[in-house]
Amino acid sequence: MSQEPRTYALLLFLSLSHGVPNSRQDLHPLLQKMAEEIIAGNYLNALLDLIQFQSSHVWTADLSHSVLAYLNSRNVAFTLPSLQAAMENHLQQRLYQPWELLDDLREADAQQLRTAMKCLLEDRKDRWQLEDIVLDLGELRAHALQSPGVNRSLVRITLERCFQVLSALECVQVLGRVLRGSPGSLLQPDLTGTLPRDLREDAFKNLSAVFKDLYDRTSAHSQKALYSWMRGALRTPSNATDDSVSWVSAESLWILGRYMVHLSLEEIMKISPIEMGLFISYDNATKQLDTVYDITPALAQAFLERIGSSSFDMRNTSTIHRLGLLVCFYDDLESLDATLAQVLLHQMIKCGRLRGFHAGVQKLKADLLDIATENQTLNETLGSLSDAIVGLTHGQLESLSPEAVHGAISTLNQVSGWAKSQVIILSAKYLAHEKVLSFHNISQMGVLLAGVGTQAFYGMDPRDLAQLLRSPVSSHVSHLSPAQQHGVLSKVKEAEEASAGVMDVQGALFTEVSLFDLRQEARFNFSVLKEKELRRSQALFLYDLLSKTTRRPEELLSAGQLIKGVTCSHIEALSPDSFLAHVQYFENNLSLLSPYQLNCLAWKYWEVSRSHMQPFLLTALPARYLASVPVSRCVPVLISLGKIHLDSLVLDSHKKSLVLRKVQQCLDHSLADEYAVDIVGKLLCHLPAALLLHGVSAGAWATALHGLRDCPGLSPEQKAAVRLRVLEQHGHPQNWTAETTRDLAPLLVLFSGEELSSVATKFPDILQQTASEMAGTLPPKEFLRAVFESVRNSSEKVPSTDPSPGCHGVEAPSSDDIFRLAEANACWAPQDLFCMEEDTFIRSVDLLGAVRGFSWPQLMTLKEKAIQVWDVPSFWREHHIVSLGRIALALNETELQQLDLSSIDTVASLSQQSGWTPGQAKSILQGFLADSGYRIQDLKSFHLVGLGATLCAMNPTEISLIKISEFRVVVARIGTLLCSAHVLAEFKRKAETVFGGPPEWSSSVLQELGTIAAGLTKEEMRELDKDLMPYFQPSAIRCLPDEIFKELSTRQLAALGPENAAAVTPAQRRQLSAPQLQSLQRALDGAKTRSGLEAAPSATPTWTPSAGSPPGRLHDEFVQGDSQAECALFCTLSIPPAISPAVGPQCPPCTSPSHQPCCGPPVSTLYLPPAISPAAGPQFCTLSIPPAISPAVGPQSAPSPSLLPSALLWTPQFCTLSIPPAISPAVDPQSAPSPSLLPSALLWTPSVHPLHPSCHQPCCGPPVSTLSIPPAISPAVDPQCPPSPSLLPSALLWAPSVHPLHPSCHQPCCGPPVCTLSIPLAISPAVDPQCPPSPSLLPSALLWAPSLHPGPPQPEVESAVTGRYQQGADHSPDSPPS
């Protein structure tokens, strides 16, 4: 891993000192000032003084002596370690507390601030190295600019003070550097109000250029504010007072650039024709106009009118070339000739960049297309129509001659926006001209390559295909369907040098290479893998294969996606030094790692170097590890968590709730200001509804809103809270401005139909554009209805001319309506759809087939419309069937049998749709076999891939007929199918002929099989090696029948890994016993299952300080607390000295060979009395009870029956008691003891006491956790509760009715007669915060540990962010945890 430079220590010069001079020496004034800053604790200012000194002086060892002498002469007794620790801590905290950094820079003198600004301004790579200390200004600058909130402070200090100490040009350059590396939320309207108003012209132009670069990242309100600032600077005194003279000059338009779209219509119409003509004549005018993506039609036409009133002729080709995106709104079509129409069409290719109004653009293209072909045929003009040909219907495309398509191929192969049905027609035309398909021919096809049939690919010369895979055209191969891709691969493998063909496969296509083929290839090396995408099964096999050829892990870890194949055993096999040397490879490729791999990585980090561990990896460990992070370390943890996608790492909802509980504690349940929002990053999307509604301050709301707009999956509660907060902050939508509506556009889906109706009335374009940007999603019905009404209200209503019964007077949809509505087409009534014009259906069928929200009646209506337009299904051709999309689901079995399914590409298009009934799937399968003439035993691999989900309709006999040679190369594809259990069982038997029986399967084979592995029998499942469990695919886990899933052992379940454990269905879970559920929970938690057992559940990780850790990591190490707990008779329980300082260090040795007693100064012990357990005595390591806890007990006291052990744990996740089997053999017989866990029974359930449900409650509400003591233990308890010898509470002589130290805080559960034990705040986050922890209160969460007691967790009673000024004050870096 890369070592962070020691940028924080001024010891870079002190480290040279080999001794301190006896007398004070004179220092350079700047160094003397630096030393005074050190003495005052202003370490940042001291660093700035040093940088200033170093810029003009050479450092020598004598200067080091002099500085130390000066410090000593001022009676400042710094040691090198203490100064280094103080220095590092101070500067680390400034990165984590950027508001403090802002205060420091505000208090810095002018020279120090100038130095700071210069460091940001100059792209200096200064690297000072004196002995082992390095100061790298470039690294320091980069790290600071990447820290959340630091940019905010730097922008503010630059605006406040930079212009006083540096030139305006230099300050603008600083602003540009900082703003370009900042999120868009930084430029809020209030910040733009602080921009300087009197900049010189050159500085103003440069700063305006910065804002133009940031345009897309800023909110609409900020864009408007920045425009107002630019407008104020551009208006001269002369034109500011005379309203009849426009202030907008040619140069103003050039400076405004994209901001010209904020000019009002009146201001545009006042622009002088001379100035407008001058602007259009600028060489870069077109470049400026090419960027006005959000211009409206009204503004665009106003600009066109002003250009037309200048000296430029709007019908001149040269002028049209200069119009940029204004050409998309060209409206002077009267008497336009065909040549100019073609020029306009060519320029309109760029119109796809517009942020809306695409329907108007499509209509303009259609009109220009009619003009361009008015006196010529399509065949004659095809190559000159640009992308307008996308609007041609199937009939028009079929009318084209093969020669015309061949002649226009250079245009056709570059056009984007083709529907698949159009590509099929054009490809067929092109191939009809070429006769023979060769590499030369297909290399000309570009995007039309996707229309080449699978069988045509398979019929090519394999050498041509091999050449295709090596050529630049191979980029288009990744866009082919899976069936087409396998057609290519099948033919390539038939070449004489088949292995070379596999090696030539590049990019995404390589993921289709089978594991079987890889196993036949022996010539793979690291270099050929770097540019290939890999499936996880491929990566697992290749990593294992190549790891046997090298001892250099970096060769494996740097080979592209090969890192997907690293296993836990590979990670564990790395030595500590090797792991730290290579961990950067993991951190640079986190997106490629599975949750299980991240869990293994986290455990390795935990064991090797906790101080260097990325804090977000704590979420991959059991929840208590994150829960025990002290408040002083909250900010780095929040920053780290805020940079990841939490849902991809924490898959269990319960564990996620615990993670978020910790996040809320760190935030003190609020976001106080913008800095807090900066720090939480992506965590903002996971904050609970209550916090979003009540905990976000008014000052933080604008920044938070900017982040909430991008949250992909807010819960219903979060959505409701955000909606209420928006209404509270911005009022009812009827009062919103255009800027407010644009800023809130992604959140419009949260509002009711009544609220959206006002948006639809005032800003229909914004609403419709918002809907168009949600392609691929399924917005709420009320939102779609509002969009639908908006489009219908703004479109021309023309009654249907369809003669069908019931269509008279119906306002049927037009092509323009369907184009604009997108997913909102689902709001049409079935009758409306049936009554649409035939031409409308023909032009729009591809769009309608892509609508996901159509109901069954709507799909049936559209099917009937297709039959009306195209005749019965037996007349349909491939492009007809493909264009239907989801409409095809309405075809019944008889209609499916009528289709021509001779082409596997047609079948593949049908199998891509989800929702076929078994009968429909069987009809498609039989139709293909009948129409193609193939028997099942004749099917090629690409046929099997194209059949897709219809393979699930095969019976066992049919599956047995599939050729092994074809099946083995598509196992991974078949493993994605969600077939029935008996079909998967048959495919599993087929797989055994390829990979052998389940005992022979490796991790790569199990991963390759996918859902096929769900066909395992009970006996095979029981015998499966537990180490293979993480390599099931989650889909396979979900497909396992409940009666087979319950056969998994506790060890197999514990080894599933987080991802597979999260895939377990509720029905499967209901089949499990209590021990199985406990093992499943361990897998969900991320408990360690390899290389020995994880710490006992009573093991609570604890923090101790660690100096010198790199920023952004866990600067406090966890002390060893995750010991192995394998012996049945456990070793000592450790009590930290802070709890019992009076107990001696002596501890008898533990008899177990795998454990060491907890002896030594930090350890206190209690005697464990034999009265508790027959097994107690010499075989146990002892525990001594300090007198402070019980006057009757002492280190030398005899065992007492009244002494109950404190070896029982309240875990933060559950209201449960964990009892070691050696202490209580009479536990619940349904919970078998497990050597892998301390507890053998969980006697306290989350709701009731298991033995006495009428008497005891385990948790008396959220504030207090209590234990009830049965009569068998304490004579003072409620006599109505019968004794129970199996219940052993962890109470130490507590008084019978109240908490002994805080009687006002805690009450018992079953009335006054019951003895209770209250959990101190340091142990449980759920206790009453009004009850402070007490050193005399022995906690019940004491760890089993092999050598050192880790100490209790830090109390978390203050916020690290909102209570930010206390951050770091709960303990110093050099003090032990409390």
Lowest mean pLDDT among 1082-1091, 1102-1111, 1210-1219: 1210-1219
> Model pTM?
0.78
Residue 746 above 50 pLDDT?
Answer: yes
Lowest mean pLDDT among 139-148, 340-349, 619-628, 1154-1163: 1154-1163
Query: Tens digit of pLDDT for each residue in 982-1039?
Result: 999 999 999 999 999 999 999 999 999 999 999 999 999 999 999 999 999 999 999 9
Residue 258 above 90 pLDDT?
Answer: yes
933-941 LR contacts (CB < 8 Å, sep 24+) = 933/902, 935/961, 936/961, 936/962, 937/961, 937/962, 937/963, 939/963, 939/966, 940/458, 940/490, 940/966, 941/486, 941/489, 941/490, 941/966, 941/967, 941/969, 941/970
Residue 827 CA to residue 8 CA, distance in Å, equals 62
Q: Could you say which DSSP state residue 1032 is in?
A: S
> Per-residue DSSP letters for 100-164?
HHHHHHHHS-HHHHHHHHHHHHS----EEEETTEEEEHHHHHHHHHTSTTHHHHHHHHIIIIIHH
Residue 1172 CA to residue 1176 CA, distance in Å, equals 7
Torsion of CA 1024, 1030, 1035, 1036, to 10 degrees: 0
Q: Give the mean pLDDT of 333-337.
A: 86
| pLDDT bracket for residue 1264 (50, 70, 90) | very low
Residue 880 above 50 pLDDT?
Answer: yes
Residue 278 above 90 pLDDT?
Answer: yes
What is the reported pLDDT for 497? 54
What tokens does 239 get? 């034109």
Q: Could you say which DSSP state residue 644 is in?
A: S
φ, ψ for residue 1219 (rounded to 5)?
-120, 120
Sign of CA pseudo-dihedral 203, 209, 212, 213: negative
What is the reported pLDDT for 484? 96
Residue 400 CA to residue 422 CA, distance in Å, equals 12
Lowest mean pLDDT among 15-19, 230-234, 259-263, 1092-1096: 15-19
Helix and strand totals (H; E) in the chain: 74, 9
Query: Tens digit of pLDDT for each residue in 1203-1228?
Result: 333 333 322 322 333 333 333 333 33
Residue 106 above 60 pLDDT?
Answer: yes
Q: How many residues does the chain have?
A: 1378
What tokens does 570 get? 């590979």
φ, ψ for residue 1104 (rounded to 5)?
-130, 150
What is the reported pLDDT for 129? 57
* 727 CB-near residues (< 8 Å, 6+ apart): none
Q: Could you say which DSSP state residue 749 is in?
A: G
Residue 1062 · residue 1310 · CB < 8 Å: no
Residue 201 CA to residue 379 CA, distance in Å, equals 55
Residue 1290 · residue 1267 · CB < 8 Å: yes
| pLDDT bracket for residue 623 (50, 70, 90) | very high
Q: Give the mean pLDDT of 39-56.
A: 86
What is the reported pLDDT for 144? 83
What tokens does 139 get? 């690294």
Residue 826 CA to residue 889 CA, distance in Å, equals 16
Q: Which 3 state secondary structure label does DSSP give 1217?
A: strand
Higher pLDDT, 1150 or 731: 731
Q: What is the largest CA-CA distance in the chain?
A: 114
Lowest mean pLDDT among 117-121, 209-213, 1060-1064: 117-121
Query: Tens digit of pLDDT for each residue in 823-864?
Result: 999 999 999 999 999 999 999 999 999 999 999 999 999 999
Other CB atoms within 10 A of residue 936 CB: 17
Residue 663 · residue 683 · CB < 8 Å: yes
Q: Which 3 state secondary structure label does DSSP give 28?
A: coil
What is the reported pLDDT for 721? 96
Query: Tens digit of pLDDT for each residue in 1271-1306?
Result: 333 333 333 333 333 333 333 322 233 333 333 333
Higher pLDDT, 438 or 1128: 438
What is the reported pLDDT for 1176? 30
φ, ψ for residue 1210 (rounded to 5)?
-90, 115
Q: Considering the chain, what percentage of its residues have pLDDT values greater than 70?
A: 75
What is the reported pLDDT for 1023? 93
Residue 1117 above 60 pLDDT?
Answer: no
Query: Tens digit of pLDDT for each residue in 1178-1204?
Result: 322 333 333 333 333 233 333 333 333
Q: Which alpha helices (H) appear in 948-1002, and where do they start and end?
A: 956-961, 964-967, 971-974, 981-995
Lowest mean pLDDT among 321-330, 966-975, 1117-1126: 1117-1126
| pLDDT bracket for residue 966 (50, 70, 90) | very high
What is the reported pLDDT for 642? 93
Residue 1101 · residue 1118 · CB < 8 Å: yes
* 340 CB-near residues (< 8 Å, 6+ apart): 315, 317, 320
DSSP lists the bridge partners of residue 1260 as 1264
Residue 101 CA to residue 675 CA, distance in Å, equals 12
Q: What angle do CA 55, 60, 62 make, to 5 degrees?
A: 130
Residue 14 · residue 83 · CB < 8 Å: yes
Residue 662 above 50 pLDDT?
Answer: yes
Residue 1075 above 80 pLDDT?
Answer: yes
**Average pLDDT, whole number, for the chain?**
78
| pLDDT bracket for residue 260 (50, 70, 90) | very high
Residue 471 CA to residue 466 CA, distance in Å, equals 9
**Residue corresponding to tokens 């038997």:** 989
* 1198 CB-near residues (< 8 Å, 6+ apart): none
What is the reported pLDDT for 1168? 30
Q: Considering the chain, what percentage of its residues have pLDDT values greater than 90?
A: 53
Residue 1116 above 60 pLDDT?
Answer: no
First to last CA, the chain: 33
What tokens does 34 get? 């630096």
Burial grade of 986 (CB within 10 A; 0-12, 13-18, 19 or more): buried
Other CB atoms within 10 A of residue 653 CB: 9
Residue 1269 above 80 pLDDT?
Answer: no
| pLDDT bracket for residue 496 (50, 70, 90) | low
Burial grade of 823 (CB within 10 A; 0-12, 13-18, 19 or more): buried
Torsion of CA 639, 640, 642, 645, to 10 degrees: 180
Higher pLDDT, 439 or 1258: 439
What is the reported pLDDT for 809? 81
| pLDDT bracket for residue 334 (50, 70, 90) | confident
**Nearest CA to 811 among 788, 785, 783, 782?**
788
Residue 86 above 50 pLDDT?
Answer: yes
Residue 2 above 90 pLDDT?
Answer: no
| pLDDT bracket for residue 684 (50, 70, 90) | very high
What is the reported pLDDT for 991? 96
Q: What angle do CA 520, 525, 528 make, to 5 degrees?
A: 100
Residue 883 above 70 pLDDT?
Answer: yes
Residue 413 CA to residue 430 CA, distance in Å, equals 11
